[in-house]
Amino acid sequence: MIVPKCTLNYELDSFPRNEFSNRLVDWYLRNRRPMNWHGANAYSVWVSETMLQQTQAATVTDFYNRFMASFPTVECLATASEDSVLAHWSGLGYYARARNLHLAAKMVVAQYGGTIPNTIDELVKLPGIGRYTAGAILSIAFHQPVPLVDANVARVFSRMFMLDEPPNSARGTNVLWAIASLLVPMYQPGLFNQGLMELGATVCTPAEPACGRCPAAGYCKAFETADPTRWPLKPARKKVVQETHCSVVVHHSRGGVYLVKRPSRGLWGGLWEFPRVVCNGEETPCDAAERAAKQILGLNVIDVRLFAVVKHSVTRYSITLHGCTARAHQDPRESEGIHLVSVEDLKDYPLAAPQVQLRDAIIHSGKRNFELALNL
């Protein structure tokens, strides 16, 4: 295999691939963390690896257990409602993953009779499945010698070979996939790939790698340097965008508060939320709350009061979300995407993480206390 042009500190053709593979698999079998999805079928590998994208395993475990308890098969997932799927994903973030997983499950049932494809060409046709997820499914569930590269694998290879490109650059990405393709063994490819990911997650960590107990130390060029953490090379950092948002919790005189459903695409797509706007200039949270009620619900509200402030970071945005309460006596504009929901039923709606904090502030205060705060 020809590796794209990039400085490597090994001639890959002479790299002891079998020796490295055997040592890594042996280390992995002795040191892997007890995860429910180890040795699982293609569906559970697909679900777990989708959840693990941009999310740590410790965070995923409880979500995975609840998700699989409710949707134990691809058929169960395909027939579920989007709201139900998103509710099980609520708090995990990056909700496009859930929508794609749901849509892909429908396609697997409709086009493949509920059998998950076992070729890379068919897998990558499914929404949300790229080279990494396809590599995980094929190597772990179907035992095919297919490579994968995630952030952990990229860090391991960047240090082993002291790559002179950031992993997320076009050239760096090509080099990493070429290395992964060359090193993945015919025998036990799933254990090898899981070993690479586990090595990056538990030993070859970003800030304080435990080089003294690393099974790859004898093959790692960065280990021979004074500071292995110089690799991977860092790309230029994107500027963090600061934004102030405001959500208004509008209580109707008949009882209940209003939730609105977001468009299926974009940030927090397909989730529900208390009507929210981005604050303009010197606009106060209460002014923004009135605007949110008017623009989104078509309501004029009274008794607007601030009750919570939430800090949240997502992608390159740092968001300060103000939560305000208000009252309304008339009905909002007609829309399938607007629901009047009792305080007790708020927990049944899938909300983004900052909206969950507003919801919990309401629920934990108790319905009666919340209504008293509104002077009802």
Which residues are catalytically annotated? Answer: 49
Q: Give residues with Cβ within 8 angstroms of 48, minimum separation 6.
A: 35, 36, 37, 40, 60, 64
Rounded distance, CA 74 to CA 217, Å?
A: 41
Residue 103 near residue 264, CB atoms below 8 Å: no
Instruction: Copy the structure tokens of residue 248.
Output: 């208004």
| Residue 301 CB coordination number (10 Å) | 23
Long-range contact pairs involving 204-209 (C-beta distance under 8 Å, separation at least 24)? 204/152, 204/155, 204/156, 204/159, 206/155, 209/159
Token pair for 299? 């309501």
Count Cα neighbours of 299 within 13 Å in the Cβ-side half-sphere. 28
Nearest-Å Rg of the Cα atoms of the chain is 25
Q: How far apart are CA 369 and CA 376, in angstroms?
A: 10
Q: What are phi and psi of 278, to 5 degrees?
A: -85, 130
